[in-house]
């Protein structure tokens, strides 16, 4: 399958009068694969981040409410004994 893909890359580049060797076509294919993996990783990380922020929204509001109430009464939440 990779051989066919390399040939397709060579044919595509031949449209622009660019000839590449098998090694160069292989390197271009590897670059495309790394790009796909990187884009997929970025998309998955972004979606997970959005999901976690969405799920944590109620907890964040409650936490900020407790902190704001403690701040109004000058209560130190981090060093209270």
DSSP reduced 3-state for 59? helix
Supply 71's token pair.
């701040």
For 2-21, what is each residue's pLDDT tens digit? 889 888 999 999 999 989 89
> Measured between alpha carbons, how far is 41 from 54 in angstroms, rounded to an integer?
20
Supply 47's token pair.
């979606």
For 33-61, what is each residue's pLDDT tens digit? 999 999 999 999 999 999 988 887 766 55
Measuring CA to CA, how many Å separate 30 from each of 7, 27, 40, 61, 75?
14, 5, 15, 46, 58
């Amino acid at each position: 399958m990779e051989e066919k893909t390399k040939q397709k890359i060579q044919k595509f580049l031949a449209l622009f009068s660019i000839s590449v060797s098998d090694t160069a076509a292989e390197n271009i294919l590897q670059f495309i694969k790394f790009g796909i993996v990187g884009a997929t990783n970025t998309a998955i990380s972004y979606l997970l981040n959005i999901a976690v922020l969405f799920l944590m929204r109620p907890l964040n509001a409650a936490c900020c409410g407790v902190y704001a109430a403690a701040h109004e009464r000058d209560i130190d939440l981090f060093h209270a004994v």
